[in-house]
Structure 1
Amino acid sequence: MIPEHAPFDTNQRAALTALLPTLSPEQRAWLSGFLAASPAGAVVTSAAGGKSLTVLYGTESGNSEGLADKTAKAAKKKGFKVAMKNLADISVEDLKKFENVALIVSTWGDGEPPEAVEGFYKAFMNGAPELKGLKFSICALGDTSYDKFCQTGKDFDDRFESLGAERLVPRQDCDVDFDDAHAAWEKSLFDALGSADAGGAATLAAPVFAPAVEYGRKNPFPAEVLDNVLLNGTGSAKETIHLELDLDGSGLAYEAGDALAVVPVNAEDVVAALLKAAGFTGDEVVTLKGEEPCSLKEAFTYKLDITGLSRAVIKKYQALAKSEELEKLLADDAKDDFKVWTWGREIIDLLENYPVEGLEAQQLVDIMRKLPPRLYSIASSPKAHPGEVHLTVAAVRYHGHGKERKGVASTYIADKAKSGEKVQVYVHSNKNFRLPEDDAKPVIMVGPGTGIAPFRAFIEERGERQAKGDTWLFFGDQRYTFDFLYQLELQDHLKNGALTKLDVAFSRDQPEKVYVQDKMREQGAEIYKWLELGGYFYVCGDAERMAKDVHAALISIVAEHGKMSEDEAVAYVDGLKKDKRYQRDVY
């Protein structure tokens, strides 16, 4: 209740009294920051007529969009006339309308553009107009653990230049720890652009302020583990963990379809083995970029990727080792040999197979990148589990080249994230993976193994919203007896109507292996019928094999049951993508 002495009239007090109890902690924090920042925190932007900057982005998981938003806001502060656009929403002809372009784009998979911008990418590379007079610069996001690091950004950079556009500043290639590199690129960009020359009266735009709750990428929240449950039965070849975390007091909010970033800790035995291989005690003092000095053991445990064996890491190590064998592996014509050699190996194998005499601790840490967070599809609806977030994680353990290996984050979750422990997390929004706003639309979901995670969230969300549209799940794994993840929950959802249809494929329960794409083909006529009714089609899981097989199956289903040629079926499926009715969360 708002007290009578508060500086509001009767109607305002009544409105506030009704509103405030309905607000979430995050909404209260936002409102607090908004009022604290206004009017002094208002951003001054130029009137029409100022120098223009178009901030373009192409994103797979949301990072590029987030950085584009930062750049756009910074440009507004400086007085530029700013427009921010998704490459998926423009045509190549639109580029002729722009004066200055800042493009932030990620690379996905094996050097491929983000899925949502494949159409623009193909058109730009094969049929774009001349762009003389346009000025541009590119910030490329990638991952140095992949051979084709930032390939999409490189492709765009070369193509802009070939079309006659003028480069404002050199392309910036960013690894997974991209904040500093993006900030440096942004500064160079504004230095090159110079004054905005707004010339006209300034106007007040939306206030910019620091919210009271500041948990996020740069300040992860220490979430308490509420539960850690092994989902597979005894006898399974798999180890799948259901993890429940408490978000109370974090101010973090998420939607079904989002991901949770987990900041892992390297395992003690992995740290000890690496120290032994390098001949260090762990007490050596090292300095990481932008941080205070710390012990080598602390750096190995909490701060550095001490296992990832990428081309970038080997190149840096080779500068010290000067090995003829490594030099041959790094040659441009030895890419296949490089892939074969690095598979199943880690940094410790470099130290043991190609030792460097007199190697110093600082030299070793300088070849490593920072320990990146891992993104996991959220397996819960915030409506069904208020104040909590759930994950479905497959623990990775395998034997390679004489050693037992394990995934950094997945085994950290499996072995260390027990009830009562704290795990550093933040929410990663994925706007490209969302349920339809219209709850009457039918939904088809294909998620084998841990790919079921976001669909558990979708089913819960549809149930909480009492969606009228039908919901269909295709789930697959190895064995019915051991690996039917969330079986009882799914059966309950079938009873209560949140789930309409469930088709399962257990590949190793019969001599002939059966997968989700096989079940799709069996139900092809019904799938096509749902699509024709305006249905949405979702896929989550392995990008390399499963997602490609499911995509091929979808095209064949459309061709057969829509009585189309293959080209017509491909165009139909591309149309689903364009309309955001075919969405994928693959990795």
Structure 2
Amino acid sequence: MVVLNAFEDIVAELQEIDKLSLPGFKQSPLKVCYNSDNSTETSYDGLGPPLPFATSKIFDADIYMWKQLTASNGDCKAVYEITLDVEDSKFTFKAGDTIGIIPQNDDSDIDFIVSHLNLASTVDLPVSITVDSSTKGNKLPIHIPAKSTLRHVLKYCVELRSLLKKAFLLSLSKYTEDDKERKILEYLCSKEGAAAYSTHVLNKSLCILDIFSIFKTCKPPIEVLLGNLPRLLPRPYSIVNSGLKNNHVMKICFSVMTNNNRKGLTTGWLERLLLNEEITLENGLKNMSISKESLNKQKVSMYLRKNFSMFCLPESLEKPLILIGPGTGVSPFIGFLEERELLKESNQDVKFGDVYLYFGCRNPKLDFIYEEELKDFLAKGTLTKLFTAFSRVDSENKYIQDVLTESGKEVVQLIKEGAHVYISGDLHTMAVEVKEILVNCLVEHGDMTSEEAMAKISHMQKHYQYVVDAWS
């Protein structure tokens, strides 16, 4: 991709602008010094970056087993379930809890940065990273170690795929040799180029890897990257199973997303861990499992996270449950149902409330994940009703929003009985639309005005009767 092709509209606009209004430029206060000793150990000034929402220390879990939940050759994203061996972790977890996985940048991305910035001869040498303290307020970013190697920092400490802020773009422009490339970078971070910044950077999720691919002469010192790239944060994942049933293993489920022709950072890495074992899945085999003995003890660094949202079963066993989770959003509800089943066995004198579950995917033959488990819960009576919607199949109900609307009268009756509503899935579309539909159902079948229905949902949210576990 050349600059003229990627930013043809900007080149035309620049010809009509005499002067750009640029943000203030601040020189990077960081300095990288190469040490004469051979110690490549990583250390921080202070304790180093904290683990967000942690309730445990990091545990390196072996991959015990894995399986692909979707068809191998179908028109759908690959979805995997990984079973982690946590027997020695002493973790205590319940349905609805989450873990944080410690990610790492892809080696190919690191190699590209190293090659572009001509760091091959120094990337593995021990370095000290300091900050110019002569200017008030300058300090070493908490995620940047004081001593390490550049390879370690690029792999584990900084987010190479983060969106580029305007101040970062301005810094990059200062180290861009080609005049046309430099002017485009300046325009993107200028007041006049605000719309172009949204169009080309925000909307296209451009990261430093894209900038170096497009702007060939942009070659800043490594200090500029370390001073501007944010921390590579742990990625949260819902736990699929209930630790009350078995706390020696922990299951997570994930789909492999693609953005700008790159697979998701953590999901792509996890997929590579599985598929690089030189084990070929038979085409179309949906539930093939690979055992612990087959895997060469691949490890996943992870920790338990606080359940701030109270995404867990209510204490009252008599309350009905409405579980809404399309795609991989259904995965935490498998743990809910496992836990519910155990509680039923130990509380046989209690009349349990009904459980309605809403699931949606493209095609039941391709990506109906956990189909067997859900139908088993249904047969046992742990799950009262299972509602499904398939967007790529000839049907009136394409999405779970359609099924919710159709069963609105039953949903409203459950809410009147004190039901707890749980929504798991995409924050920006599904979760918002589901809330609107539930409000409409309360208006149509619950004898409420729109204001009363919205107040009802708000009351449920306040008292953790309406809980959302959503991601963007």
Query: Which TM-score bucket, shorter chain as reference?
Result: 0.7 to 0.9
Alignment partner, residue 302 of structure 1: 156
Structure 1 residues 180 and 296 mapped into 2: Cα distance closer, same or farther (>3 Å)?
closer
Moved more, 470-479 or 347-356: 347-356
Counterpart residue number, 1:581:
465
Q: Secondary structure at the match of 1:482?
A: coil
Cα deviation code 1:386-428 (max 9, x no counterpart): 2221111111124x3xxx3121111111111574211100001
Instruction: Report whether the alignment pairs 1:451 with 2:310.
Output: no
Distance 2:156 2:59 in 1: 16
Paired residue secondary structure (1:481): coil
Distance 1:558 1:503 in 2: 19
Calculate the TM-score normalised by the size of structure 1: 0.59
Q: Find the partner of 1:271 among 103, 110, 119.
A: 110
Deviation of the 1:513 alpha carbon: 7.0
**1:375 aligned counterpart, secondary structure:** strand
Q: Which residue of 1 aligns with 2:65?
A: 227
Matched, 1:427 2:304: yes
Which residue of structure 2 aligns with residue 414 of structure 1?
A: 271
Task: Map Cα deviations across residues 521-545 of structure 1 (whole Å, 9 max, x no partner).
Answer: 0100000000000101110110111
In the aligned structure 1, how far is the partner of 2:167 from the partner of 2:359? Answer: 38
Shift of 1:575: 1.5
Aligned-pair CA distance for 1:491:
0.8
CA distance in 1, matches of 2:312, 2:385: 20
CA distance in 2, matches of 1:459, 1:470: 12
Matches within 5 A, 1:169-318: 219-234=57-72, 235-281=74-120, 283-284=122-123, 285=125, 286-287=127-128, 289=140, 291-311=145-165, 314-315=168-169, 317-318=171-172
Corresponding position of 1:539: 423
Aligned length: 374
| TM-score of the aligned structures, taking structure 2 as reference length | 0.73
- In 2 relative to 1, CA 336–217 (structure 1 residues): closer, same or farther, beyond 3 Å? farther
Are residues 362 and 436 of structure 1, via their aligned partners in 2, closer, same or farther at CA, if it must alter by over 3 Å? same
1:360 corresponds to which residue?
221
Q: 1:308: Cα distance to partner? A: 1.6
- Give, in whole Å, the separation in 1 of the partners of 2:342 and 2:167: 48
Equivalent-residue separation in structure 2 for 1:344 and 1:513 (angstroms): 33
- Opposite residue 422 of structure 1, the aligned amino acid is K
Pairing partner for 2:353 from 452, 469, 490: 469
Distance 1:271 1:573, change over 3 A: same
Q: Distance in 2 between matches of 1:405 and 1:298?
A: 21
User: 2:239 aligned to 365, 375, 378, which one?
Assistant: 378
Query: Corresponding residue for 1:488?
Result: 372
C-alpha spacing 1:511/1:536, structure 2 compared with 1 (3 Å) = closer
Give the drift of 1:216.
5.3
Q: Contact 2:55–2:306 (CA<8 Å) still a contact in 1?
A: no
| Alignment partners' CA distance in 2, 1:547 and 1:384 | 29
Is structure 2 residue 335 aligned with structure 1 residue 497?
no
Which of 382, 387, 393 is equivalent to 2:248?
387
Aligned to 1:329: 188
Query: Is residue 392 of structure 2 the alignment partner of residue 553 of structure 1?
Result: no
Cα distance in 2 for partners of 1:565, 1:346 equals 47
| Aligned CA distance change for structure 1 residues 336 and 547 (closer, same or farther; 3 Å) | farther
Q: Which residue of the partner structure matches residue 32 of structure 2? A: none
Q: Where does the alignment leave 5 or more consecutive residues of structure 2 unmatched?
A: 1-46, 130-139, 177-181, 278-294
Question: Would the alpha carbon gap of residues 518 and 582 (structure 1) be closer, same or farther in structure 2, given more than 3 Å must change?
Answer: same
Kindly indicate whether the alpha-carbon contact (under 8 Å) linking 2:170 and 2:186 is maintained by their aligned counterparts in 1.
no
8 Å CA contact 1:321, 1:354 repeated in 2: no
8 Å CA contact 2:164, 2:206 repeated in 1: no
Displacement of 1:363 after TM fit? 3.1
Indicate the structure whose relative CO is greater, using CA pairs within 8 Å and at least 6 residues apart: 2
CA distance in 1, matches of 2:196, 2:78: 31
CA contact (8 A) 1:320 1:356 kept: no
**Paired amino acid for 2:438:** L
- AA aligned to 1:423 is V
Q: CA deviation at 1:315?
A: 4.3
- Cα separation, partners in 2 of 1:448 and 1:351, compared to 1, 3 Å: same
Choose the corresponding residue for 2:197, options 322, 332, 338: 338
**Matched residue SS, 2:365:** helix
Distance 2:397 2:263 in 1: 27
Q: Is the CA contact 1:397–1:405 (under 8 Å) kept in the aligned structure 2?
A: yes
CA displacement, residues 443-478 of structure 1 (integer Å, 9 cap, x when unaligned): 001101111121111111111111722211101111
Q: How many Å apart are 1:278 and its aligned residue?
A: 2.8
Residue 55 of structure 1 is matched in structure 2 by none
Amino acid at match of 1:429: K
Cα RMSD (Å): 2.7
- Matched to 1:519, the amino acid is V
Cα distance in 1 between the residues matched to 2:415 and 2:192: 46
- Native 8 Å contact 2:172 2:218 kept in 1: no
Select the structure that is richer in helix.
Answer: 1
* Residues 84-121 of structure 1 deviation map (CA, whole Å, 9 limit, x = unaligned): xxxxxxxxxxxxxxxxxxxxxxxxxxxxxxxxxxxxxx
Structure 2 CA distance for partners of 1:316 and 1:282, relative to 1, 3 Å: farther
Distance apart, 1:283 and its partner CA:
3.3
